[in-house]
Structure formats: structure tokens, C-alpha cells
Amino acid sequence: MAKSQKTSFGRRGFLKSAATGAAALVATAPAAKPQAPGNESSAAPAPNQRQLARDAGNVRPPAAVRAITRPGSDLMVQTLRDLGVEYVAANPGSSFEGLQESLINYGHPPNQMPEFITALHEESAVTMAHGYAKAEGRPMLALLHGTIGVQHAAMSIYQAYYDRVPVLMIAGNDPDFIAAHTAHDMAGMVRSFTKWDAEPKTLEEALPAIQRAYNEAITPPMGPTLVVLSSELQKENAPTAAIPAYRPPQFPVIDAARAKEIAKALVEAQNPRIAVGRLRTPEGVRRAVELAELVGASASTTATNGPMSFPQGHSLCGPGADTNYDYTLGLEAAGAQVSITGPGLAQIAPSRDTGNIGFGGISGSAGGRGGRGGRGGANTGMRIEADAEASLPLIIEQVKLQITSDRKARIQDRAAKNARANQEARVAALEQALETKKAGWNGSPISTARVYAEMWPLIMNEDWCLASPSNFSGGHNVQLWEHNKPYSYLGGQGAGGMGYGAPACVGAALAAKARNRLVVNIQTDGDLNYAPGVLWTAVHHKLPMLTVMHNNRAWHQEYMFIEYMAGVRGRGAERAHIGSTLRDPHIDYAKMAAGYGMAAEGPITDPAKLSAALKRGVASAKRGEPYLIDVITQPR
């Protein structure tokens, strides 16, 4: 193929309105020279005139294309629809133009199940899918354009992998377009931090590959999966092709004997406890509650760390009347006499990490799906490798068979005592928390505790979801809010990378839109600057999302690190702000939001004005009009 002499062209470098300029560029481009053997790595091949014209939008489809009666991409969309995929987020790219056209035009009605969501960056598209999956327990789709789209998305894929979140991705590969956007093994760029990938060569292979990618994503250990589809398969005429029957995945469960044994231990225990970690879906949470109520056990939860755990405000959630538990069952939680936990990333990482990169934290300590165990047993207790959620119906059935009438009375008495003790513990913990958070209450910059405290009465009777990480803004929701839904708090980023908060909240807001929920985003300032374009997506799709800026005008954690380092080296902290603060000039986030069409106000520095602003923001978001409030805050 030909190569250019230091001439390159962007992915979407030209618009249709610039066709004249594009034609001039084509006319004056350097002449192509044959590439000498053995010199393949000297430069990437340049696009030819036909490719440049296509990139400029200065082409018309041939008449033969219009004769297609049933494009392969229609079948791909129907496959996604049959799987129940609600949304697909994408920054448009020519390598999936066939699939995009089907997404927006195929079906009755078109552009539903899935609905096309316009993203301004592939990283944001994948993180939207990340946030959606944490809220719903199932995947949405992100489309990626060729090699450059996969690389743009790589950070978000990495986060979803660490967070063990089911994300479905399709990357387009167009071998007849710009060579730098294509690859022989495109998925290889992210293989070491995806769970499964495929590049089918025929349409008959492509449809089951999409089904399998979905199944692999939702099967523990959950994670992102990728299917690479050539543009030819998307555009192929397939009048007689059929979608294969879908077979849902089979989750590993405990055997009947083990279920009977666990049920017997729970029923006969004088003071049982159930430690609940992070389950897969809301159905698992419902089952965990059912089991706890059946045996009157106190329960622990990870609901203040992330989604899909035991409701924090349930009467059985807490230490109970007696912390000397004689039997503890762990559901995706370690540290119990018996812990049922699914397989971890460490069990698939070696086969995926063919380059032996050895990403830290994936092997060894990342064995389960996360979540903290209860206090009822040592870490040396029995671990059963199975899916806790899928195993719960077996245990519940056995418990119902073993409970006698005299045991029912004892269980009811135990449950009542646990409920009273848990309520007393909650009240005491809240009183203590309120006392500790009074410091700086009337100060300016505004205390982060006050932001959370004044938000709570405005949302406590709503169906809400805190979709942003709260660790950098003090984590005050843990003490001040009550997390009772599977999606009340979605937790952190996974790998701790920045640029996650706003797009994850937009993904959660997509899940919330048709379900009458409100999404709250306590947004750190440094994080928003990675991908602010996602604010436009929220406005464009009318999502119920309130963003409150935690604007401390710094990457404050790094600022503290530099202050400490300068101190221990005896150099003073006078210049610690260099490279770690967002000053000179200050960033106006209300104007930033307004530039993307989002209603906004601020910056607010007077704490007396905070409550009224939050009230306006909640009302706006409930109307499907995203709102941003810029609050100048204390560091944490």
C-alpha cells in the first residue's frame, strides 16, 4: 500500500460543508510511492483519494447498495433487542455506519430497544454503560470506531474490568477505509482487561457471537466483552438468514446436599447472621432479604460501598441484639463459617493476559466480586465457589421445608429483638455522625458534610440513586443517608481512574429515565474536566440528573501528597500548588454547563444559599431537565 510523507488525516476531519476544501486537499496531496520491502514500519499508509472523499462525506452510495432488502445489521439490532438491551451509546464512526443506520431506522417503532444515545467521546460511552450496568445489573451497549475508538475507550474498559461490571461492546472494523483505523486483531489492544472477545468472519458467526458476548458479560466474574464486526458483515444482504435461539447462561450453584446443610444450620442457630456482599442483580437482593426474614437473622450490608446489597434501612440490617453469632452465612462475602462466592478475575486473567502485563490487584486479592463479610466467623471458614444469587432459591426452599411451628415463634421473637437493637444502633450512629459534622457548618468555602446533609431531606422520599463516587467528597452519604435500593449508591470507579463520575451518572440516569428515578451526582471538579461533553448528552436525552459540584479548585489528594513530600524533604509547601490546583483562572462550571445547554447556577460560596439552590436543582432534574450547581467547597 502507499504511504504518505508526513501527511495525516483525522478520523472525522472534514464535514460535508467543507467538501470543497477536502477536494483541494485531495488534489494537492503528495504522490503515493510504493513501499519498499522490509520497510513496513516506517509510516502508516495514507488514505487514498476515494477514502478521503468518503471521510469528507463527499460521496454518494452506488445504486446497487439501495437494492439491499435485509441488511445484516438489521439482524444484529434484532439480536440486541431480543436480549433486552435498552441503550447503545456511541460517538459516530464510519466503521459501524451500517449498524448505526439499522439502530435508528429498523423496527416498529425504530430507535427503541436499543435507543441510540449520542456520546461525545468513546471513553464516556463505555463509562455510561458502566454506570447503567451498576444501576440495573445488566449490560447496555457501547459502539467503538476501529482502532482509535478502542484506544479512546481503553481507560473506561479497564475501569469496568476492575469493577467486575457487565459491559457489552461492539467495535467496527472497515478494512477498505483508512488503514490506521483497522487491525488484524483489534481486540488484542484490550484483551488483558476484557473478559471475552470475538471477531466473527461471517454473519452466521456474528449473531451468536453477540449473544455469547452478552452471556459472558453477565456470568461471574462479570466484566466487559467485545465483538469486532467488519463493515462488510453489517452491510451484507441477508434475506434468508435467521437469528439463532438464545440460550441464557447457566450460573454455578451449590448442590442440593449443601443447600440442605446450610438451611439446617440457619434454622437451628440461636443467633444466625447473613453477611451480604455485592450480588449480581436486584433479584438477588430480594432473595437475600427473603432468606433473612425467614430465619430472623441479622444482616450486614455493603450498600454504602456499592450496589446490589442488603437494604441498609431494613429492620434486620445491623449488628442485631447479640453480636455473638453462632452461625454466619456469607453471600458474596468472606469471613463467615460458610461463604458462597463466585469465581474471581484471577481465574480468567492468566488466559487473557497473554503479554504478562500483570495488572496489580487482579490476581490474588481480587478473587471474589467484592464486599465485606460479617463478623460471625474467621477468614478460614469454608468457601463454596458458586453464584450466591443463583443458589439462594435452593437454600430458601430448604429453609421453608425445615421450619416447624415452634421454630417460627422463636424466629419471630429473634427478629423483633434484632429490629429493636438495629433501630437503636442506627439512631445512635446518626446522632454521633451529626455531632462530628458540625465543624465548619457555617463556613465558606462550604463544608461537604453540609452539601450531603441538606440534600437528604430533598430526596429521602424520592426514588434516588447516588451514582457518583463519594470518597473524594467526604463519603458523608454513608452516615447521613439510608441506602435501601439495589442502586442507591453505585460506589467508586473500579480502578480509581478519573473521568468516571459524570459519564457513569449519565449511564445511571439512562436507567432512571423510564423508571421515575432521580440521579444525584456529587461531582468532583478535576474529574469533570476529563470528559465534560457528557453534560450535553444528559441534556440532549433529557435525563433526570442533578450535578452538584464539589469544587475545591484542586486535585486535592495530590495537593496533599505534594505538601507532605515537600515537608518531609524540608523544602516547605509554598509551591505545592504547582501542578495540583485549578486556579488562575478559576473554572466557571455553571458557564461550562450552560455552554452544553444545561441549566446551571453558581458558584455558590454562602452556605445559607445552598438549600434553596439544591431544591431548585432537584425540581429541575425530576422534570427531566438536568441541572448543575457549582458549589465552592472545603477540600473534603
State residue 362's pLDDT score.
81
Residue 25 pLDDT > 60, yes or no? no
Residue 219 pLDDT > 50, yes or no? yes
Hey, is 321 helix, strand or coil? coil
The 3-state DSSP composition of the chain as helix, strand, coil percent (nearest 5) reads 45, 15, 45
* Phi, psi dihedrals of residue 57, rounded to the nearest 5°: 75, 20
Q: How far, in Å, CA of 138 to CA of 133, rounded?
A: 5
Residue 201 pLDDT > 60, yes or no? yes
Angle at 74 between CA 72 and CA 80, to 5 degrees: 110
Mean pLDDT of 324-352: 94
Q: Which of 169, 174, 172 is nearest to 196 (CA)?
A: 169
State residue 376's pLDDT score.
37
Mean pLDDT of 557-566: 89
Residue 23 pLDDT > 80, yes or no? no
Residue 340 pLDDT > 80, yes or no? yes
State residue 236's pLDDT score.
96
pLDDT tens figures, 507-550: 999 999 999 999 999 999 999 999 999 999 999 999 999 999 99
Bridge partners, 545 (sequence order): 519
pLDDT tens figures, 300-320: 999 999 999 999 999 999 999
State residue 556's pLDDT score.
78
Mean pLDDT of 467-476: 96
Q: Which of 536, 537, 545, 512 is nearest to 593 (CA)?
A: 536
State residue 513's pLDDT score.
97
State residue 26's pLDDT score.
34
The confidence band for 18, taking pLDDT boundaries of 50, 70 and 90, is very low
Residue 32 pLDDT > 70, yes or no? no
| AA letter at 190 | V
- Which residues, including other chains, have CB under 8 Å from residue 357's CB and lie 6 or more apart? 192
Are 319 and 425 spatial neighbours (Cβ–Cβ below 8 Å)?
yes
Residue labelled with grid coordinates 454506570:
131
Are 551 and 633 spatial neighbours (Cβ–Cβ below 8 Å)?
yes
Distances (CA, A) of 123 to 103, 193, 518, 539: 21, 15, 24, 18
Residue 116 pLDDT > 60, yes or no? yes
The confidence band for 557, taking pLDDT boundaries of 50, 70 and 90, is confident
Query: Comparing 125-129, 455-459, 564-568, which segment has the lowest mean pLDDT?
Result: 564-568
Cell of 553: 479548585
Residue 5 pLDDT > 70, yes or no? no
> In sequence order, what DSSP letters do the residues of 239-263 get, joined into one string?
TT--PPPP-PPPPP---HHHHHHHH
Task: Considering only the C-alpha atoms of the chain, give the largest distance between any 2 of them, rounded to a whole number of Å.
Answer: 92
Convert 183-194 to b/e letters by CB count within 10 Å (16 or more is b): beebbebbbbbb
Mean pLDDT of the chain: 90
Query: Comparing 13-22, 415-424, 452-461, 555-564, which segment has the lowest mean pLDDT?
Result: 13-22
Mean pLDDT of 20-34: 37
Q: How far, in Å, CA of 302 to CA of 400, rounded?
A: 27
Mean pLDDT of 13-28: 36
Are 142 and 153 spatial neighbours (Cβ–Cβ below 8 Å)?
yes
Cβ count within 10 A of residue 34: 8
Peptide bond into 585 cis (omega under 30): yes
Q: How far, in Å, CA of 536 to CA of 273, rounded?
A: 47
Mean pLDDT of 184-192: 97
Cell of 173: 472494523
State residue 65's pLDDT score.
56
The confidence band for 62, taking pLDDT boundaries of 50, 70 and 90, is low
Q: Which domains are seen in the chain, by residue range?
A: 16-60 (no CATH), 64-235 (3.40.50.970), 256-353+361-428 (3.40.50), 437-632 (3.40.50.970)
Angle at 490 between CA 274 and CA 600, to 5 degrees: 150
Q: Which of 264, 216, 282 is nearest to 402 (CA)?
A: 264
Q: Give, as one character, the DSSP assignment of residue 178.
A: -
pLDDT tens figures, 366-410: 334 443 333 333 446 899 999 999 999 999 999 999 999 999 999
State residue 20's pLDDT score.
37
Residue 361 pLDDT > 60, yes or no? yes
Query: Comparing 334-338, 361-365, 466-470, which segment has the lowest mean pLDDT?
Result: 361-365
Q: Which helix (H) or strand (E) holds 55?
A: helix 49-55
Q: Is 58 exposed, middle or buried (0-12, 13-18, 19+ CB in 10 A)?
A: middle
